[in-house]
Amino acid sequence: MKLNDPTLLRTDAYINGAWAAAPQDRRFAVTNPATGETIAEVADLGAAETTAAIDAAVPAQKAWAARTAKDRAMVMRKWYELIMANAEDLAVILTTEMGKPITEARGEIAYGASFIDWFAEEARRVCGDVMESPIPDKRFLTFKQPVGVFGAITPWNFPIAMITRKVSPGIAAGCACVLKPAEQTPLSALALAEVADRAGIPAGIINIVTGMDAPAIGETMCADDRIRKMTFTGSTEVGRILMRQSAGTLKKMSLELGGNAPLIVFDDADIDTAIAGTMASKYRNAGQTCVCANRIFVQDGIYDEFARRLTEASEAMKVGNGMEDGVEQGPIIDDQGLEKIERHVADARAKGAEVLTGGDRHELGGTYYQPTVLANMSSEMMMFGEETFGPVAGLFRFSTDDEAVAMANDTEFGLAAYIFTDSTSRLFRVSEALEYGMVSANTGIFSSEVGPFGGVKSSGLGREGSKYGIDEFLEIKFLCVGI
């Protein structure tokens, strides 16, 4: 890994403003999914070190909250500027440990940094109300205060953006965090901590606990009543565990969980727009995104042409090491992810799906998988009910609007949905009928720091980003004053 600034590559945890090794110098390997080679050996911390991080965060948070919002915003702005100044090195670290193409990694750095920039400004706009009192000799006021110390657990598929989307509103509000990054991608988290340290974010405000024992670290956060909020992105199964473990201390929860995104293409859609949007949604990050189109519903009149065009576009993709020029799809993160993709494709084939292209491991070996398009999909197949998390586009046929909406909503999940239509009335009618927290119309990419991100049903609780995101880290206090 060639970096302009090699000191960004950190391998110890970051607690109370210092780099911390594990007891007995325990370490775990971080590998490059494109080559299988070990990149680094990272400190393997556990429950005791997580408690030490909480110990550091509690007093640090009180001092940080006592500073003005403008002060916090200025420090955060410096963090943003240093991230952008080191964007290329951060992208190289991200691609090397996660596998996505370097062009996507560069985009993620800018996207991740945008949350810091946004919430630095939102910090200065937190305000309460003076309300009309129903009692002549009393005045009613509300104001907002930081929730306190929060725990954060982030996934491997967006190892920069999922951290900044959680940490930046929290620290903007005056909170401090203890964060556990995914064991597959800890180097991006530690590089962010290094840059935060250079920016002057005080010791104890951002603590990064790296480790392989995720259940012990997570349970320690949930059980400690000094952690007043948990925020997590990952599977619905783990989200439910964290929610149960947090029940004893009644924490606030933000959960961005599993998805099963429908992408609906109506007969009146512009097919060029629909193909471009489907490619962007389906194959970005090799299909390893929580809002990736998982079930593609295409209306009868356009089905055959859409299937042909999508197959051609999928076959034209360049697969390879994300550091190589022109690569559009990198490897799957690990063997477990690859095996799930294979199970889904095998199940679809056994139940009558037609493979239009792909359908097997890539000739590059390792965890590479071919961009795949399957036709004649049905609701009996695993891909209808489970998130594949890979570069497999399954095409389902429908006839009427009501049929499309019913199939799209036939899932416990409700994170993101996509529709392609040139009818304004259909756009609004279908969008309102879809049971999802986010609907993207006539585009395959919608995420932004300005828009609220989050789901309904089994896809989670709360919203990240936007003007609403900072409220997840604030409590409203009511003040009644007798006069």
Mapping DSSP onto H, E and C, the string for 219-273 reads HHHHHCCCEEEEEEECCHHHHHHHHHHHHHHCCEEEEECCCCEEEEECCCCCHHH
CA-closest candidate to residue 473, choices 151, 50, 110 = 151
| Candidate list 175, 177, 222, 290, residue with the active-site label | 290
Predicted pLDDT of residue 1? 87
- The answer to whether 222 is a known catalytic residue is no
CA-closest candidate to residue 468, choices 436, 430, 437, 433 = 437
Residue 148 — left, alpha, or beta (φ > 0 → left; ψ -120 to 50 → alpha)?
left
What is the dotted CATH code of the domain comprising 6-257+459-482? 3.40.605.10
Q: pTM of the entire structure?
A: 0.96
Annotated domain spans of the chain: 6-257+459-482, 261-448
| Candidate list 122, 256, 387, 464, residue with the active-site label | 256
Predicted pLDDT of residue 256? 97
What superfamily does domain 261-448 belong to in CATH?
Answer: Aldehyde Dehydrogenase; Chain A, domain 2 (3.40.309.10)
- The answer to whether 256 is a known catalytic residue is yes
Matching residue, tokens 């009910």: 385
Q: How far apart are CA 455 and CA 167, in angstroms?
A: 19
CA-closest candidate to residue 187, choices 25, 36, 29, 22 = 29
Predicted pLDDT of residue 62? 98
| Tens digits of pLDDT across the chain (483 residues) | 899 999 999 999 999 999 999 999 999 999 999 999 999 999 999 999 999 999 999 999 999 999 999 999 999 999 999 999 999 999 999 999 999 999 999 999 999 999 999 999 999 999 999 999 999 999 999 999 999 999 999 999 999 999 999 999 999 999 999 999 999 999 999 999 999 999 999 999 999 999 999 999 999 999 999 999 999 999 999 999 999 999 999 999 999 999 999 999 999 999 999 999 999 999 999 999 999 999 999 999 999 999 999 999 999 999 999 999 999 999 999 999 999 999 999 999 999 999 999 999 999 999 999 999 999 999 999 999 999 999 999 999 999 999 999 999 999 999 999 999 999 999 999 999 999 999 999 999 999 999 999 999 999 999 999 999 999 999 999 999 999
Q: Which helix (H) or strand (E) holds 14?
A: strand 13-15
Helices 271-283 and 300-315, interaxial angle, to 10°? 50
Interval 389-427: pLDDT, tens:
999 999 999 999 999 999 999 999 999 999 999 999 999
CB half-sphere exposure, 40, CA atoms < 13 A: 21
